[in-house]
Structure 1
């Protein structure tokens, strides 16, 4: 018995049109989401980080401010490095434990 060819209810051109419309809508939603994220990031940074008042500061005061900022950056970099190192160690430890333990079949 020969197989009966099923005809699609939607033509290929209509399918392509719907697909392109869906992609356009998805792109639009994604762009809007990105804009919202950027706005949220800007709002968060404005709320958390005070603006620097450098007007009227003497040269020595500006240098002290720069030293303080560099010290804070250095501290944050050290913390980030420690966190990355610890998370890397945990990953290696888990891989080692998994390789050491026998697998059940």
Structure 2
């Protein structure tokens, strides 16, 4: 095994603090870059407003602003429509993929210890009282034993009748 030098706790702490300082500087630079980008975007899209003093110039400015507003609304509407189309297409494709796989995620069912009476009571509500003792509702039937069945059961030992059967065999052999 090669012996590796381990860093001391002081050196680890110093490296962590240096990494935190560098990360903090990167975050600050990123934040200032975002602010500058936002300023540039706003200056491009919203130029400084020069308010004219005459009525005709104000009307022209209002008409110009209305036209810009209409154009931006049309762009927003078209982008929103395209987005909805793409979202619905993605949803349809996901459904097709699931259908092609033929596998559906089955939820894991929890084991519930409940008697049949309690389950029926939960399903039907507390008003309905159902008794699941099905044997209590059955009729009592007496079993009649036929004499033929008795004779079949009382056939007895096969060795007793062996001599009778041996005579029959001799008849068939001759």
Task: Say whether the fold is shared (TM-score over 0.5).
Answer: yes
Pick the TM interval, shorter chain.
0.5 to 0.7
Structure with more of its chain in helix, by fraction: 1
Matched, 1:14 2:11: yes
Change (3 A) 1:34 1:24: same
Change (3 A) 1:94 1:29: same
CA displacement 1:43-66 (0-9 Å, x = unmatched) = 455457655544356332233123
Structure 1: state its 5+ residue gaps: 1-5
**TM-score, normalisation: structure 2:** 0.44
Secondary structure of the equivalent of 2:6? coil
**TM-score, normalisation: structure 1:** 0.65
Query: In structure 1, what is the Cα distance between the partners aligned to 2:26 and 2:65?
Result: 42
1:71 deviates by 0.5
Bigger CA drift: 32-41 or 81-90? 32-41
Query: In structure 2, what is the Cα distance between the partners aligned to 1:79 and 1:14?
Result: 58
What residue in structure 2 maps to residue 39 of structure 1? 36
RMSD: 3.0
Change (3 A) 1:71 1:44: closer
Q: Superposition pairs for residues 1-105 of structure 1, below 5 Å?
A: 9-43=6-40, 46=43, 51-56=48-53, 58=55, 59-102=58-101
Structure 2: state its 5+ residue gaps: 103-174
Secondary structure of the equivalent of 1:10? coil
